[in-house]
Structure 1
Amino acid sequence: MSGACVNTVAILLEPGRFSFASRQLEEEVAPGYVRIKINYCGVCGTDKSFYLGHRNEGYPVSLGHEHCGVIKAAGAGVINLQPGSQVVIDPNFRCGQCHYCRQKKGHLCVRGGEQHYTNRGYAGYIDIHYSYVHKLPAYRKDHIGALVEPLSVALHAVALSNVSGRKGEILVLGCGGLGSLLIFALLEITGADVYIHDHNDYKVDQLRSLYPDRIKAPMAGQRFQLIFEATGASRGFRQACDLLDKCSRLVVLSRYHADEPFIPERLPWKQPEIILCHLNGDSIHMADAAALLADNWSTQHDNLLSFHSFEDINNVFANYGKIKSNKKIITHEQL
């Protein structure tokens, strides 16, 4: 049972224009669903692609999939999720029964396109099936929950890379939200130093200030055995191919919605492995990401973040490239 409340959702009507739509939520929460008051939702490169019109799956569309908040009510049949619990949402539906789910590849679930929720994360509330929802540990600040889903994608990439079994130096290209969380993961769970590059110097500087002894800048002519490409641009893929050593591995986290890259002509001469990291892999990565943040995300790490009011969402997207932070987060909290 839930008291009636009004839900306001930011709807992308067309490229470049969000509009706010409000409606009264149902008094009863449906069986198997929970109602969550959304406090924070990160801005992902995929959201930006929709905003720019580079990815068009039909407008209008509700966006935002890095959301966290507090459960306000639970429908019949929901167990282990009680009102008052701080939670995060895995945006990927997993049936638990298909071949891919049984192989711990639920991000490839044959029913993954199903949507058992009322709206996405740029909203005041969401009614969503309990299977998407994960309880959070006790964080020092609630906004840390908005980092769990993108960090789970980074952990999937680390798992695919077999970083512990490879020798040679590691390079991360792209220090936006996903790239920064990937760098955080690599530095916190491996003993390796990491080379990083981004065309925005301030992003590199922010990360280097956190890890001055472990972050390095690539040198001219240097080649790498392991590269993570998280630039979101085809030029980043081409740069990664140029910097690969022979018999190396390239893990691609980018989505090239506007400009698909091509395989450089001489790349086969290096005989590299190229792995595409799709979504966050096994759902265990959500739990691992939540725990890693609880143990290692410090007040100093918050310097990578900027916070923006829900009502200002149009300005955030319109001025995305001018906002000097590695990761942008939309919030309903008082700034």
Structure 2
Amino acid sequence: MPIRSNSVARLVSPRRLILTCDALSEDLPPDFVRIRIEFCGVCGTDRSFYLGHRDEGYPISLGHEHCGTIVAVGDQVGPYQAGHFVAIDPNYRCGSCHYCRIGAGHLCEKATINRYSNRGYANFIDIKASYVLKLPEYRSRHLGALVEPLSVAINAADISKCTLADEATLVLGTGGVGTLLVFNLLETQTGEIWIYDKAHSKMAALRDLYPSRIKILDSADDRVFSVVFEATGSSDGFLHGCARLAKLGRLIVVSRYHSDEPAIPDRLPWKQPNIYFVHLNGHGDSFVRAAALMKRSWGPDHDHLLSFHPLSNIDQVFTDYEHIPENKKIISME
């Protein structure tokens, strides 16, 4: 296994991403695979790090919505081989702690163990094979970068127990996860869905795909909903979701509030709501389901929701994040 040069985007301080050049070792641990990364989505969590809302020390490697091709395998890796196209579920699950045993592996007591060399904004990653899922043959390789965020959306839908045909449902925020929430719900259920986002172009792009099933909420409309998915990433979005919730309604919070933790509105308890916070993608079954749903239902027309950017421009992508009109941004290593 020859030593290769690996370009890795690292955040060296708030609002400053740079490309570094690392040497990949000839030695690969026996239970690891080496993957040539092809695409990696941009997540709101990555942007929180970029803005300095989260500080776990610098420099830090970002990107966790990645896919690529295995180029080498360790001696003890059974089901995978060079040439397999895979997605990476970045969540460590030990399989033996209390949470793993009860089907909540995303809350694993050892979740902070990272068995990989760097994150997804890079040319290569060395990673423990248990993180990897072999993907079906997609019409385009970039679909692999949507598997991980779609698995989060599927987990949120599972938690909500939402039935579109019988319940008034609202998705607040149509960025990456919000868009994939809409996609999952409309492709797996019958009925219509309401959406709201400050960026009207993102809502319009989704409605163009599902003109008979998506309704855009006017800010002056005072209707309430049985199920509200909050995916705006802001405390204002959370408060908006609380205001839109019907009595006995279900608020599904997918956002992470890294800089402005919201408070519960004083009158919200009068509605006796159920509030659920979604953490990652659950036990892992949603990851497999997401890979299958992408194969089955994401067509060429859905690609208009995406924008693609080379790794060399990654700092500019984060700088211009709010001004890029597409719903989901993807970094390409090609």
TM-score by length of 1: 0.98
Contact 2:164/2:190 (8 A) holds in 1: no
- Greater shift, 18-27 or 289-298, is seen at 18-27
Q: Find the aligned partners of 2:256 and 2:27 in 1 and give their Cα distance.
A: 39
- Can you list the C-alpha shifts for 1:14-39, whole angstroms capped at 9, x where unaligned? 00101111122111311100000000
Q: Find the aligned partners of 2:144 and 2:216 in 1 and give their Cα distance.
A: 30
Question: 1:158-307 counterparts in 2 under 5 A?
Answer: 158-164=157-163, 167-218=166-217, 220-307=221-308
Determine what percentage of the aligned residue pairs are the same residue. Answer: 53
- Can you list the C-alpha shifts for 1:214-236, whole angstroms capped at 9, x where unaligned? 00123512010000000000000
AA aligned to 2:10 is: I
Query: What displacement does 1:56 show?
Result: 1.3
Query: What displacement does 1:323 show?
Result: 0.8
Q: Partner of 2:137 in structure 1? A: 138
Cα pair distance change 1:212/1:14, threshold 3 Å: same
AA aligned to 1:70 is: T
- Can you list the C-alpha shifts for 1:63-83, whole angstroms capped at 9, x where unaligned? 000000000000010011100
Query: What displacement does 1:254 show?
Result: 0.2
Q: Partner of 1:7 in structure 2? A: 6
Contact 1:169/1:226 (8 A) holds in 2: yes
Q: Partner of 2:312 in structure 1? A: 311
Contact 1:186/1:192 (8 A) holds in 2: no
Q: Find the aligned partners of 1:214 and 1:225 in 2 and give their Cα distance.
A: 17
Question: 1:43-82 counterparts in 2 under 5 A?
Answer: 43-82=42-81
Cα pair distance change 1:56/1:169, threshold 3 Å: same
The secondary structure found in structure 2 opposite 1:188 is helix
| Structure 1 stretches of at least 4 aligned residues deviating more than 2 Å after TM superposition | 164-168
> What is the aligned residue count?
332
The secondary structure found in structure 1 opposite 2:163 is helix
Contact 1:240/1:250 (8 A) holds in 2: yes
AA aligned to 2:133 is: H
Contact 2:165/2:190 (8 A) holds in 1: no
Gaps of 5+ in 2: none
Contact 2:165/2:191 (8 A) holds in 1: no
The secondary structure found in structure 2 opposite 1:163 is coil
Gaps of 5+ in 1: none
AA aligned to 2:202 is: K
Q: Partner of 1:322 in structure 2? A: 323
The secondary structure found in structure 2 opposite 1:152 is helix
Q: Find the aligned partners of 2:294 and 2:191 in 1 and give their Cα distance.
A: 19
AA aligned to 2:162 is: V
Query: What displacement does 1:87 show?
Result: 0.2
Q: Find the aligned partners of 1:57 and 1:244 in 2 and give their Cα distance.
A: 35
TM-score by length of 2: 0.98
- Can you list the C-alpha shifts for 1:140-162, whole angstroms capped at 9, x where unaligned? 00000000000000000000001
AA aligned to 2:312 is: E
Query: What displacement does 1:207 show?
Result: 0.1
Q: Partner of 2:103 in structure 1? A: 104
CA RMSD across the alignment? 1.0
Q: Find the aligned partners of 2:71 and 2:226 in 1 and give their Cα distance.
A: 48
- Can you list the C-alpha shifts for 1:88-134, whole angstroms capped at 9, x where unaligned? 00010001111111111110000100010000000110000001000
Q: Partner of 1:18 in structure 2? A: 17
The secondary structure found in structure 2 opposite 1:78 is coil
